[in-house]
Chain A
Amino acid sequence: MEKTKTHASQHPLRLKISNLNFFYGPKQAVFGLSLDIPINRITALIGPSGCGKSTFLRTLNRMNETIRHTRVEGEVLLDGQDIHAMDVVGLRRRVGMVFQRPNPFPKSIYDNVAYGLRINGFSGRLDDLVEHSLRRAALWEEVKDYLKKSAFALSGGQQQRLCIARALAVDQEVLLLDEPCSALDPVTTAKIEELMFQLKDSCTMAIVTHNMQQAARASDFTAFMLDGKLIEHSETPKLFTTPSDPRTEAYITGRFG
């Protein structure tokens, strides 16, 4: 029986994950995981390397399906609807992902943001929406005079915020962030964290991070995973000051193993 004593379920939920199992071929990577992800809150996933947290994150917009010989069991509800019964393109339009290494398209800054809108048949004032998205991603002031320049001319932190702007442009309700700051310096990391804080008004986020201080600073709820299982999930201040499970305690105080 996993400990899921949490206040998360007292909030309205965006995602409800029940008894999720995930397999790479014969090897099981996620075991019976149940987790509530509340609306417009940041949920951090922590745990040692290989504990399945990135795999788990990728099941939330069915990104793992692009890997052959994988299998998923269990239920993931997005606003009450089973994501496995949804059109996958429609799902990813609502649940976006930001990766460890920023992955802008080989296009201009403007087109990176506009691309998703165009392929979705957006017919309004594109310029306004591009500006609005870049502003929400706290990038507008830095790039407004260079919108036609290649996205690759930006710094790593700017590229990461561009990827977030790209997701915001199509109004994604959920952002999955997989180690979004691990390639960034502390100042740029602080900008991304501040951005996450500002986006909480309109966006639900789940972040995988190796940096426990980041989880502590930036999230509302934290889930600790070990060997593919959820060990403990609670409000972030509670988990980092008075964890309930000795394995959580050992991990966050660095006495693991």
Chain B
Amino acid sequence: MERHFEHDLEELKQRLLWMGSLAERAVHQAVHAVLDAEEHLAETVLSEEDAINEMQIEIDERVQRLLALQQPMAADLRFLLAVSRINGDLERIGDQAVNIAQSAMRVLRHPQVKPYVDLPRMSELAEGMVRDSLNSLVRADLDLAQSVLQRDDQVDRLRDQLFRELLTYMMENSAVVFAAFELILVAKNLERIGDHATNIAEDVIYFVAGRDVRHPALDRR
């Protein structure tokens, strides 16, 4: 017997995935506004921000309603808690995409500092983490969620590499300071997106296995 509640949970998951696809697309467009010097992509990201924010509110309301009316237990409870947290992370990913889009518009007023090598790699990595964290939710795939956690270090290393490189450019030629600084912000935003994807993967592990893998250094019961 499939109950109405299960239908509601499935619908909630579909809405969350739709929000995830909006956030993923925003990141992709924002980064490519920088990489491909396409200002209209940045404008699209800014104009679509509201859609993500509206989704956040809609999903929160659905979660609240199901918690209040169905009083879920066990995996259902963990799923709703995970969705609630993932919802917040997706909204923050949307915000980071907006930050990148705004940097893009400022960067494009200046000549390109250097050929982009690490930035595309970093964005591919971060976007892949977001995509796979959501896929791991769809498939309840612990291995995939775990692989997202492992990729976070690579993103951090690329960020450090970019920082060093751009600082060198800035020291050599003060004319590039403004544009290089914006690129540092973009790298910082991408690194934060990786962190949010990591949070999502941790929430998926909590939902699927009931294990809290955040902050492993903390001594838990």
Interface residues of A (CB under 8 A from B): 212-213, 216, 240-243, 248-249, 252-255
A255 to B76, alpha carbons, bound, how many Å? 11
Contact B3 A254 (CB under 8 A): yes
A243 to B72, alpha carbons, bound, how many Å? 13
Known: A242-B74, A253-B75. 18 other contacts (CB 8 A): A212-B73, A213-B71, A216-B73, A240-B73, A240-B77, A241-B73, A241-B74, A241-B77, A241-B78, A241-B210, A242-B78, A243-B74, A248-B74, A249-B75, A252-B74, A253-B72, A253-B74, A255-B3
Q: Shortest beta-carbon distance, A178 to chain B, in Å?
A: 23
A253 to B75, alpha carbons, bound, how many Å? 8
Q: Shortest beta-carbon distance, B70 to chain A, in Å?
A: 9
A-B contact pairs, 7 of them (CB 8 A): A241-B73, A241-B74, A241-B78, A242-B74, A243-B74, A249-B74, A249-B75
Contact A252 B73 (CB under 8 A): yes
Asked if B116 CB lies within 8 Å of chain A CBs, one says no
Q: Which residues of B contact A216 (CB under 8 A)?
A: 73
A70 to B188, alpha carbons, bound, how many Å? 73
Q: Which of B72, B73, B76 has the most CB of A within 10 A?
A: B73
Q: Which residues of B contact A252 (CB under 8 A)?
A: 73-74
Q: Which residues of A contact B73 (CB under 8 A)?
A: 212, 216, 240-241, 252-253
Q: Which residues of B contact A240 (CB under 8 A)?
A: 73-74, 77
Asked if B5 CB lies within 8 Å of chain A CBs, one says yes
- Which residues 184-215 in B have Cβ within 8 Å of A in the complex? 210
Q: Which residues of B contact A243 (CB under 8 A)?
A: 74
Q: Which residues of A contact B3 (CB under 8 A)?
A: 254-255
A-B contacts at CB below 8 angstroms, number? 29
A240 to B71, alpha carbons, bound, how many Å? 11
A216 to B77, alpha carbons, bound, how many Å? 13
Q: Which residues of A contact B6 (CB under 8 A)?
A: 255
Q: Which residues of B contact A241 (CB under 8 A)?
A: 73-74, 77-78, 210
Q: Which residues of B contact A254 (CB under 8 A)?
A: 3, 5
Q: Shortest beta-carbon distance, A226 to chain B, in Å?
A: 15
Question: Chain B, 60-76, contact with A by CB distance < 8 Å: what is the 0/1 string?
Answer: 00000000000111111
Q: Which residues of B contact A213 (CB under 8 A)?
A: 71
Q: Shortest beta-carbon distance, A223 to chain B, in Å?
A: 16
A192 to B76, alpha carbons, bound, how many Å? 28
Q: Which of A243, A249, A254 has the most CB of B within 10 A?
A: A254
Q: Shortest beta-carbon distance, A24 to chain B, in Å?
A: 31
Question: Chain B, 69-103, contact with A by CB distance < 8 Å: what is the 0/1 string?
Answer: 00111111110000000000000000000000000
A139 to B92, alpha carbons, bound, how many Å? 53
Q: Which residues of A contact B210 (CB under 8 A)?
A: 241-242
Q: Which residues of B contact A248 (CB under 8 A)?
A: 74
A253 to B80, alpha carbons, bound, how many Å? 13
Across the interface, name the chain A residue whose C-beta is closest to B6: A255
Across the interface, name the chain A residue whose C-beta is closest to B211: A242
A50 to B216, alpha carbons, bound, how many Å? 44
Q: Shortest beta-carbon distance, A142 to chain B, in Å?
A: 30
Nearest first, the 9 closest Cβ-Cβ pairs linking A and B are A242-B210, A252-B73, A249-B74, A253-B76, A240-B73, A253-B74, A252-B74, A243-B74, A253-B73
A212 to B74, alpha carbons, bound, how many Å? 12
A241 to B6, alpha carbons, bound, how many Å? 18
Q: Which residues of A contact B74 (CB under 8 A)?
A: 240-243, 248-249, 252-253
Across the interface, name the chain A residue whose C-beta is closest to B70: A254
A255 to B4, alpha carbons, bound, how many Å? 12
A216 to B74, alpha carbons, bound, how many Å? 11
- Which residues 146-202 in B have Cβ within 8 Å of A in the complex? none
Across the interface, name the chain A residue whose C-beta is closest to B77: A241
Q: Which of A241, A249, A253 has the most CB of B within 10 A?
A: A253
A212 to B76, alpha carbons, bound, how many Å? 14
Q: Shortest beta-carbon distance, A193 to chain B, in Å?
A: 15
